[in-house]
Every structure is written in C-alpha cells, then in structure tokens.
Amino acid sequence: MSEPNRAPRPDEPIPVVKGTLDLLALKALVRRPMHGFEVTSWIEERSRGRLAFDDSAVYQALYRLEKRGLLEAEWGTTENNRRARYYELTAEGRAHLSAETDRLVRYSEIVTGILTGAPSPQPA
C-alpha cells in the first residue's frame, strides 16, 4: 500500500542515486587507506544516516573501482589485529574523484537552478 507521490519526511533516508556511492567511497579514501567497514561508517557519518543503501553496495562500489584501477587493495591488520582488506586511492583514482566531483557539482547546480527558478550560471 505505498503512497507514490507523498513528500518524503525530512528525516527519512533517500535511496542513493546510482554511481554516487562510487564517488563517496573514493572521497572516503582521500585521507588514508581504509577497510570496507570503515568506508561504510565514514559515509554513514558524513550523511548523518540520510542516505539509504545496503552495506553490500559499498563493497560493490569498492570492487568496481578496484577493477577500473582507481583503487588498489591490500591485506593488512586492524587495530584489533584482525586481517582486513585495505583500499587505497591510486593516482588515477584521485584524478577521477576531482573530475567527477566538479561534474556532479555543476550538474546539480544546473538542475537545482532550473527547478528552483534561479538563473543558471554562465558557462566558464
């Protein structure tokens, strides 16, 4: 019995837009290498739980990025001495993140501008 056109409640998590999780995972790894749970927690913290996704989707994103050579993985140990797979940005990953971030920001500005009636920014 869903109500398709109701407005979302402000505290309800929004399902993540496809592809965004990849960028978020890359962003998580800018400072230091992390294992999968750390990446998941980092995104949850930063979004304050307002994005809805399965934990496995984060791993999907990590694997995809690794496949494309944007990340590299290595087995290491956690503080509690558990074996964990650590992910690290490659140079390509860094470049990809900054380019895609620019693109996404400009994209959402344009879309926001149109939807809210504000004048669209002039192309640089």
For other proteins, which is the closer residue by CB, 23 or 84?
A: 84
Pick between residue 85 and residue 94 the one whose CB is nearest to other proteins. Answer: 85
Contact between 59 and other proteins (CB under 8 A)?
Answer: yes
Of 57, 92, 100, 104, the one binding other proteins by CB under 8 A: 57
Of positions 72, 92, 94, 100, contacts other proteins by CB under 8 A: 72
CB atoms closer than 10 angstroms to residue 24: 19
| CA distances for 91 relative to 26, 30, 75, 101, angstroms | 12, 11, 20, 16
The minimum distance between CB 13 and other proteins, in angstroms, equals 12
Burial 74-101 (b: 16+ CB within 10 A, else e): eeeeeeeeeebebbebeeebeebbeebe
By beta-carbon proximity to other proteins, the closer residue of 3 and 12 is 12
